[in-house]
Structure 1
Amino acid sequence: MTTPAPLNAAAEQYVKLVLAVGQHDKNYVDAYYGPEAWAKEAEAARMSLLDIGGRAAALVKEVEDVPVPDDALLAMRRRFLLTQLNALSARVRMLSGEQLKFDEESEALYGARSPRHTEADFEAVHAELEKLIPGPGPLPERLTRFRQDFVIPKDKLDVVMRTAMEEARRRTLKFVKLPAHESFTLEFVTHKPWGGYNWFKGNATSLIQINTDLPIFISRAIDLGAHEGYPGHHVYNALLEQHLVRERGWVEFSVYPLYSPMSFIAEGSANYGIEMAFPDAADYLRDVLFPLAGLDPKRADEYSRMEELNKKLSYADNEAGRRYLDGEISRDAARDWLIRYALLSPERATQRMAFIDSNRAYIINYNAGQDLVKQYVERQAGPGATPVRKWEVFLELLSSPRLPADLR
């Protein structure tokens, strides 16, 4: 398999353009482990947004002029570069002042749109939660009180988190071969708009940070361990590095622009990875994490039923974000909407609004991304597929240049 020389040249220019955008948007370059000289060059040059946009448009034409390769993987690489460059151009326009509607933005940056949901969709879930958590007062308040019994004590947070992450790692390594030296460092931080973050450093290493601004519920140990670590972001980045950067020399994968279609795959696969690694999550919570955290295992099944129902409200984030960012409701009204329909506590609704303010339509990547990845894996694996077969399809996705359009 021989890559057309113009694609290799375009890949290098693409990386340099991503780094150039990073000089105007501190969140844009989520990870970079390519040549240090390129990063220094971008910092020194500080190319204007106008110039970046012009060069990106010219580069798109260069890649379009490359005939579609017969090899499926190379054709995917060509399509990846075009898709990422178009998203980069959209981000440059936004940084230059162009305003997009929520759906327009998600399509331009992530190559996808979130399905629409009505209040009635969420109220149907509320009705199920009402039966599980009866009593006086509004449902959001009852749910908040109920969940307080399942907060990980601060003095147990480190051991619970590390135990869940190591279990996620153990389970993932049964199906995937990672470099022998792969590793992660875990840190607890505060004053962030997110709950957890993976900072991939290259050489199959990550810094995983957990935000402790708000109390952390016991199920989040599994969610964060799998999502940020195994088989989530850490594994996704390590596999791209191993198979595409090191083995094939595709430099475009040495940089990860956050506001791009890559994030739809990254977040969607990381969320789906929770289910892949922990199909028995309720049992693992009851038998391992509840005792470790000093919580009552007899209430574990009740708690797990509540969390399973609560996950069905995830699209309420997208609806609040769409209405707020499209100017249909105020920020305060969006926060109240999250309390009413996503059943968030006032503190968590405030934190969620901070995330939406910072990342805007990025929120679709978690739920719409998860749904598309799940559908793709299950369709490719086939009806009645064994766990081994599903893992094969899942890991092939994580190791490839596939983007949202390739999963439909």
Structure 2
Amino acid sequence: MRAVLFSLLMLVGVSAAVPDEAKAGPRDGAPDSLNAIAESYVMLILDIGELEPGYVDAYYGPAEWQVAARAETETPAQLIQRAGALTDRLEDLERNGGMAGASPAEVQRRKYLAAHVSAAAARLRMISGEVMSFADEAEALFGIRPELPPLESFDPVLAEIDALLPGEGSLTDRVIAFRADFVIPKDRLQPVMDAAIAECRRRTAVHIALPAHERFTLSFVGDKVWSGYNYYLGDAASRIEINSDLPIYTERAIDLGCHEGYPGHHVYNALLEQTFVRERGWVEMSVYPLFSPMSFVAEGSANYGIDLAFPGDEGLAYERDVLFPLAGLDPSTTERKARLAGLMRKLARAEYTIADAYLAGRIDRAEAIRLVMHYSLFSEARATQRVRFIDVNRSYVINYGLGRDVVQAWVERQGADHWQGMETLLASQILPVDLVE
């Protein structure tokens, strides 16, 4: 890691040396603590990352800890044993009076660590070959159990879209043909994305105090299973990548700008770093395990952030007045486009049912692609990419639609100032289970 990040952790009082007890726990007779457990947790996550590339989504803690993880790879069985020991330590801490007099924030910290250790243990069991049902896996990794509605329950929505876009050919073909008028030409992608992200940032900064030095870089890539990705680098910096292999529509410029940037992943990670790593020295927040409850909050808040930043018809107006001219497109059909987008959003959870059947082997890959084309109204290329995403990330798909709905409901229960509720969530260790209680 960069020297500046190492220096940052030193400033907040986190030891850069790899302590002997980071893996094994405190020495005999030494009192345990949440700080000691947090160090052991970070080492566990880094070691799992050596077994599974991509598992560690971000890390900006002490560089020596990452070096140590790379130097000696442990087996899944050894790491499962360490996860179990961490769970025992967290339980013992409460049982033996170690949490006596703890503040509400410290109580939540212990709960947060316990949930993430549990998710890490589940992921290790999967790496070892354990197979869970889609819903069991989602609950074990992300801390919330999805419902799997029957696919026919989405047929009324398809019927509404059929009425909106009448004509010959399949509904999927008609939707693709209609949406072709809203594809951003590749030679206009940079100015359109720059404008969209800048507007997302402007709207967010009105309500949330961003770190003074926060920043990001933007690049276009290809051959990815995702449409956009935020790589958080620490020190309030991100690298945002946009997959330009498939068509990018004008509304996706807003979606990606908010989701990957403001008030989405970039802001979420920057506020976590500022609140916990810089101000409190809670080292567990310097590592982001992808398959964890953290991702449910991250993806859910990033998707809800789109609606928060562009409520009502404001997104449509911004597309029409700013993005369409930048892209050289005709804005005359934007109203029907918005109605279509609202209906397509209602189809999001069909993917969970399809993924469940596909991952369980009840349908093959070709049928999964066909069903995604039919129920998500995607082209064959886009549906194939989405099934590739399911191959790689499995039950992670619940974090988008279900995550958005759960986050939205929680934020809007907090009061009339939804931005305040959002900021509270983004700078917290609130878990998915807390959002539904």
In 2, Cα distance between equivalents of 1:134 and 1:9:
63
Q: Please report how far the alpha carbon of residue 11 of structure 1 lies from its aligned counterpart in structure 2 after TM superposition.
A: 0.2
- Does the 8 A contact of 1:290 with 1:300 survive in 2? no
Query: Given the alignment of the two structures, is residue 193 of structure 1 paired with residue 220 of structure 2, yes or no?
Result: no
| Among 387, 400, 407, the residue aligned to 1:366 | 400
What amino acid is aligned across from residue 168 of structure 1 in structure 2? C
Deviation at 1:121, TM superposition (A): 2.3
What is the aligned partner in structure 2 of residue 301 from structure 1? 335
Moved more, 58-67 or 163-172: 58-67
Alignment match of 2:429 (pick from 394, 401, 407): 401
User: Cα distance, 1:36 vs. partner?
Assistant: 0.4
Secondary structure at the counterpart of residue 254 of structure 2: helix
On the 8 A contact 1:236/1:398 being kept in 2, the answer is yes
The 4+ residue runs of structure 1 with deviation greater than 6 A are: none
The TM-score with structure 1 as length reference comes to 0.96
Q: Is the 8 A contact 2:271 2:427 kept in 1?
A: yes
Maintained 8 Å contact 2:296/2:403: yes
Q: Any idea what the Cα deviations from partners look like across 1:194-250, whole Å, max 9, x if unmatched? A: 000000000000000000110111110000000000000000000000001100000
How big is the shift at 1:252? 0.2
Letter in 2 for 1:26: P
Q: Secondary structure at the match of 1:23?
A: helix
- Out of 182, 186, 193, the position equivalent to 1:150 is 182
| 1:220 partner amino acid | R
8 Å CA contact retained: 1:34, 1:251: yes
**1:19 to 2:51 alignment:** no
Instruction: Note the alpha carbon deviations across 1:306-361, whole angstroms, 9 max, x for none.
Output: 11111111112111101111222111111111111111111111000000000000
Question: 1 CA distance for matches of 2:147 and 2:113?
Answer: 26
Question: Any conservation in 2 of the 1:116–1:319 contact (CA below 8 Å)?
Answer: yes
Paired letter, 1:363: V
Matched, 1:57 2:84: yes
- 2:126 and 2:152 map into 1 onto residues whose CA distance is 33
Paired residues of 2:151 and 2:353 also in contact (CA < 8 A): no
| Residue 253 (structure 1) aligned with residue 304 (structure 2) | no
- Name the CA distance, whole Å, in 1 between partners of 2:320 and 2:153: 30
Q: How far apart are the structure 1 equivalents of 2:138 and 2:150?
A: 19
Contact 1:113 1:364 in 2 (8 A): no
Matches of 1:165 and 1:402, distance apart in 2: 27
Query: CA offsets per residue over residues 14-59 of structure 1, 9 Å max, x none?
Result: 0000000000100100000000000000000112211111111001
TM-score norm. by structure 2 comes to 0.90
Ranges in structure 1 where 5+ consecutive residues have no aligned partner = none
Residue 5 of structure 1: how far off its partner (Å): 5.8
SS of structure 1 residue aligned to 2:33:
helix
Secondary structure of the residue that 2:341 maps to in structure 1?
helix
CA spacing shift, 1:5–1:278, aligned 2, 3 Å: farther
**Map of 1:347 onto structure 2:** 381
1:41 maps to: 68
Report the Cα distance in structure 2 between the residues aligned to 1:199 and 1:209, rounded to whole angstroms.
8
Partner SS state of residue 327, structure 1: coil
Cα offset, 1:185, TM superposition: 0.2
Q: What SS does structure 2 have at the residue aligned with 1:65?
A: helix
Cα pair 2:135 2:147 within 8 Å, conserved: no
Residue of 235, 241, 256 corresponding to 1:203: 235
Cα deviation digits, residues 278-330 of structure 1 (max 9, x gap):
11111111111111111112111121111111111111211110111122211
Q: 2:246 aligns to what SS in structure 1?
A: coil
Give me the identity figure in percent: 52
Q: Answer with 191-200 or 306-315: which moved more.
A: 306-315
Distance, in Å, in 2 between the alignment partners of 1:183 and 1:270 is 17
Q: Does the CA-based 8 Å contact 1:187-1:208 persist in structure 2? A: yes
Aligned to 1:173: 205
Q: Deviations over 1:124-177 (max 9, x none)?
A: 111111121110011011111111111001111000001000000011011111
The match for 1:242 is 274
Instruction: Measure, in 1, the Cα distance between the counterparts of 2:143 and 2:360.
Output: 19
Q: Answer yes or no: is 1:230 the counterpart of 2:262.
A: yes
Contact 1:286-1:301 within 8 A present in 2 as well: no
Match of 1:281 among 303, 315, 323: 315
Select 1:113's aligned residue among 121, 125, 145.
Answer: 145
Unaligned runs of 5+ in 2: 1-30
Give the match's secondary structure for 1:269: helix
What secondary structure sits across from 2:245 in the alignment? coil
The number of residues matched between the two structures is 399
Provide the residue aligned with 2:36 in structure 1.
9
The aligned counterpart of 1:132 is 164
Distance in 2 of aligned mates of 1:136 and 1:126: 15
Please tell me the residue identity of whatever aligns with 1:286: R
1:365 and 1:19 map into 2 onto residues whose CA distance is: 23
**Match of 1:180, SS?**
coil
Whole-Å Cα distance in 2 between the matches of residues 372 and 70 of structure 1? 29
In 2, distance between residues paired with 1:127 and 1:294? 32
Output the CA distance in 1 between the equivalents of 2:262 and 2:76.
Answer: 37
Aligned-pair CA distance for 1:70: 4.2
**Root mean square deviation of aligned Cα:** 1.1
